[in-house]
């Protein structure tokens, strides 16, 4: 999620944009298809696989995670 704040005429306005994956997760949660616990478990797995802490999974992350 990306937030941008704009101060205009004494009002603080927040513009929010969502990436496709974030929107899908939001809608699945809203529909009751997944829970916050489900999301947390998947994020924990992602963080374990993201060996270089880049926020993305590369082939080298997967290789390194599997070798440890």
Q: Are residues 27 and 40 in the same domain?
A: no
**Hey, what are 1's tokens?**
């999620």
Q: 10 and 39, same structural domain?
A: no
Q: With cut-offs at 50, 70 and 90, classify the pLDDT of residue 2.
A: very low
pLDDT band at 22 (very low <50, low <70, confident <90, very high): confident
Model-wide pTM > 0.85: no
* Portion of the chain with pLDDT greater than 90, in percent: 41
Q: What are phi and psi of 29, to 5 degrees?
A: -65, -45
Residue 10 sits in the same domain as residue 29:
yes
Higher pLDDT residue, 65 or 54? 54
* Contacts with 17 (C-beta within 8 Å, 6 or more apart), sequence order: 1, 2, 4
Residues 39 and 21 in one domain: no
List the domain range (segments joined by +) for residue 10.
Answer: 1-33
Q: For residues 16 and 2, is the Cβ–Cβ distance under 8 A?
A: yes
Q: For residues 56 and 61, what is the distance between their CA atoms, to the nearest angstrom?
A: 9
> What mean pLDDT value characterizes the chain?
81
């Amino acid at each position: 999620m990306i937030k941008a704040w704009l101060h205009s005429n004494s009002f603080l306005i927040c513009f929010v944009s969502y990436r496709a994956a974030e929107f899908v997760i939001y809608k699945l949660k809203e529909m009751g298809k997944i829970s916050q616990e489900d999301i947390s478990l998947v994020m924990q797995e992602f963080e374990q696989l993201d060996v270089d802490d880049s926020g993305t999974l590369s082939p080298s992350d997967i290789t390194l995670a599997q070798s440890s």
